[in-house]
Chains A and B, each alone.
Chain A
Amino acid sequence: KAGVTQTPRYLIKTRGQQVTLSCSPISGHRSVSWYQQTPGQGLQFLFEYFSETQRNKGNFPGRFSGRQFSNSRSEMNVSTLELGDSALYLCASSLIGDSGNTIYFGEGSWLTVV
């Protein structure tokens, strides 16, 4: 079956703009989580959604938000973009998001803020 799909793969935005990234989880997976990956910080957890509800949240400012739809697809939004937001944004899905459920990643969305 298809893996985690993220769109767009690459995008360039200007400082101050906002961006929306999309993620389609593996079919049947109800937990979707988002991560920011940068060379200097590694993988940083943004938030996790399960059944359209945010279940866990990392230490990111309110400019970073997300949501999950009834079909488990998820979007994340970053408003008022800053240069430091340039990163690879990874979406991951798992069956129910509990321990022992493997997290599978998408290929990511490369965001460059200029």
Chain B
Amino acid sequence: GESVGLHLPTLSVQEGDNSIINCAYSNSASDYFIWYKQESGKGPQFIIDIRSNMDKRQGQRVTVLLNKTVKHLSLQIAATQPGDSAVYFCAENYSSGGYQKVTFGIGTKLQVIP
């Protein structure tokens, strides 16, 4: 997996509001996508995944939307809480003939305002 080094975008959200974090992926042949949450000083934590044959998947307070036409992925967090403050990044997974490549987005920092 590779990641392009850029300034980390920040999203500030009021506690209780919904958050939407976006991710543009690069490979139209990618067939599996994952969202991770990384809190300060910790490793990335799996949140939710979606396969390319789906366009929406819901978890507990989180929803992932996949738009393959424009190669866009979004993570929606309902009723955002202070504990949601972290860096969120997406991963796209491409595989072919036993070869697998995972590419990670640069991440978005979510700041929840109490």
The size bracket of the interface on B is 20 to 34
Interface residues of A in 15-53 (CB under 8 A from B): 33, 35, 38-45, 48
Question: Which B residues, 65 to 110, have Cβ-Cβ distances below 8 Å to chain A?
Answer: 89, 91, 93-95, 98-102, 104, 106-107
Residue A70 interfacial (CB < 8 Å): no
**Contact of B31 with A100 in the complex, beta carbons under 8 Å:** yes
Residues of B at the A interface (CB closer than 8 Å) are 1-5, 8, 31-32, 34, 36, 42-46, 49, 51, 89, 91, 93-95, 98-102, 104, 106-107
Number of A-B contacts (CB under 8 A): 71
Q: Which residue of A lies closest to B99 (CB)?
A: A56
Residue ID in chain B nearest A107 by CB atoms: B43
- In the complex with contacts A100-B32, A103-B102, A43-B3 CB distance below 8 A: yes
CB proximity of A38 to chain B, nearest CB, Å: 8
Report yes or no: B32 in contact with A106, Cβ–Cβ below 8 A: no
- Give complex CA distance A12, B50 in Å: 39
Besides A90-B44, A99-B94, 17 other CB < 8 A contacts?
Answer: A6-B43, A40-B5, A43-B1, A43-B3, A43-B104, A44-B3, A90-B43, A98-B98, A99-B31, A99-B95, A100-B93, A100-B95, A102-B34, A104-B46, A105-B36, A105-B43, A105-B46
